[in-house]
Amino acid sequence: MGHTPRKRFGQNFLRDESVIDAIARAVAPASEDHLVEIGPGEGALTKALVGSGCRMDAIELDRDLRTRLLAAFSTHSRFALHSADALAFDFGSLIREAEPLRIVGNLPYNISTPLIFRLLDHAELISDMHFMLQLEVVERLAASPGSKDWGRLGVMAQFQCHVEHLFDVPPEAFYPPPKVQSAVVRLTPRTQLPPVEREALAKVVTLAFAQRRKTLRNNFKGVLEDSDFEALDIDPSARAETLPIEDFIAITTHLPS
């Protein structure tokens, strides 16, 4: 008897073999890799990855899928299943001998952004991440300054990671088909970051984009004066969506700690 997808878990199971193969090729797991799959669901992608002989930890919230996943993959000596909510899971607990994690997942749309921010908190533990996401989210992650999609998500993701929009996936690749387009993205954490605290940068970016239609002068009212922007060679009448990451870093560094 098949599993009935649950709306409360945001379940849309990937079933298109060509898409599964494309993701597996993008990830290209090796036997020495340590993969973590978030939301394996029915195990379609799991099957395509675990055959590499890699160590794999799978995190699944739906207990009804746990028995099926164990039946399918417990014969793999390096497979482990965790019944947990990825938003509350301790990814650091999976580290063995400083072995970096490779994260993979077809993420439910309702938790994708907070989960990505949570994983960025552990970026030093991760070598790369491959996610199936709503196309709109991928476009925001991979956006460039000056585009309508450039905002807090893109700035903070690209501050820590190299972001690649790999390919789009149509609704009919899933069961049940979602009402939105999807896409696969790769995030590779940077080995070196500018000398600025991420938390401080995040506050500046949040303030800058607080009201997208307003100028920097308005959004930073009471925090920065025109003279501050002039010292940074930034136009105070510009909108946040026009600024490159370097300008957000400059503002953060300029502000008193």
What pLDDT sits at residue 2?
A: 56
What pLDDT sits at residue 98?
A: 77
Question: What fold characterizes domain 198-254?
Answer: Helicase, Ruva Protein; domain 3 (1.10.8)
Q: Judge: domain 7-189, CATH 3.40.50.300.
A: no
Residue 104, strand partner residues: 37, 130
Statement: residue 5 has pLDDT above 90: no
Q: Where in the chain is the domain with CATH 3.40.50.150?
A: 7-189
Q: Which residue has the higher pLDDT, 250 or 110?
A: 250
* Averaged pLDDT for residues 99-108: 93
Statement: residue 31 has pLDDT above 90: yes
* Averaged pLDDT for residues 226-233: 97
Statement: residue 170 has pLDDT above 80: yes
What pLDDT sits at residue 1?
A: 43
* Averaged pLDDT for residues 222-232: 97
Q: Which of 120, 107, 99, 123 is nearest to 30 (CA)?
A: 99
pTM tops 0.85, yes or no? yes
- pLDDT tens profile 35-50: 999 999 999 999 999 9
Q: Where in the chain is the domain with CATH 1.10.8.100?
A: 198-254
* Averaged pLDDT for residues 76-96: 94
Of the pLDDT bands very low, low, confident and very high (cuts 50, 70, 90), residue 4 is low
Statement: residue 56 has pLDDT above 50: yes
- pLDDT tens profile 17-26: 999 999 999 9
Side-chain-side CA neighbours of residue 54 (13 Å): 26
Residue that has been written with the tokens 């009448």 in this structure: 237
